[in-house]
Amino acid sequence: MRALRRAGAALWAAWSFLTILPPACPRPPGDEEPSAALAFFPLVGAVVGALAGGAVLLASRFAPPPLVAVVAVGAPLALTGALHFDGLLDASDGAFAPRTPERRREIMRDSRVGSFAVVTGVLVLLAFYACALSLTPLRLALALIVAGAAGRAAAVLAVVRYPYGREHGAGRDLHGRAAWPAVAMGLVLALAAAALGSWRGIAALLAALAAGAALAELVARRLGGTLTGDAYGFCEQFAELAALLAFVVR
């Protein structure tokens, strides 16, 4: 029973952290390790993808494909409060600035949007839109589920592979004694979601993990061997895009 309460508290924490939707129940009591929530990041991502996929299927009954693609791009952003996309923008501005690692981390905390963020954000949104427009509504709905889980799985791996680069921040609590066991469970859940797409889903998960790992290493080198919450969002968005591309390529 205690294990179930801890799992419920971890799922509650993951849902509250990753989405703007109110949890279906009050927070369960318990003194769970905050990093245990990592286990359920891929599951929450799959649910966000499923909700976005439902919106896509509904829109496809009334709207032309270009508008359906807009729904596919916009629904996950709306459901998550653009959490990961905001990290993508901040990390793009800071990590690739011609400055020292310390100055880059300071730039990432600046709320103003610079040219790196604008260019990266526009290109990523266009890539998401192009992928969505290339798939049938049913296939797109499935791809959103797999990509949602795969992107969060890649972010979870980035969390545990690199030290946190700030004294304070939303991502610091994710670094705890429960992190690696939570990662193992999260990868199992991501694999279960990927299996919905058969071999294409598995390929999408592998593509997402590879893209996330490569970009996490790139950003970490720019930030002096550390990552921050913004960097997690950067990795998640590109990993999600890699998963969608796996559904598009022939």
38 within 8 A of 182, measured Cβ to Cβ = yes
Q: What is the DSSP letter of 224?
A: T
Q: What is the pLDDT of residues 141-173, one digit of tens each?
A: 999 999 999 999 999 999 989 988 776 666 666
Q: What is the pLDDT of residues 173-202, one digit of tens each?
A: 666 555 778 889 999 999 999 999 999 999
> What sign results for the dihedral spanned by CA atoms 138, 64, 53, 204?
positive
Name the band, by pLDDT with cuts 50, 70 and 90, for residue 226.
confident
Cα separation, 250 vs 238, in Å, equals 20
Question: pTM value?
Answer: 0.92
Cα separation, 190 vs 216, in Å, equals 19
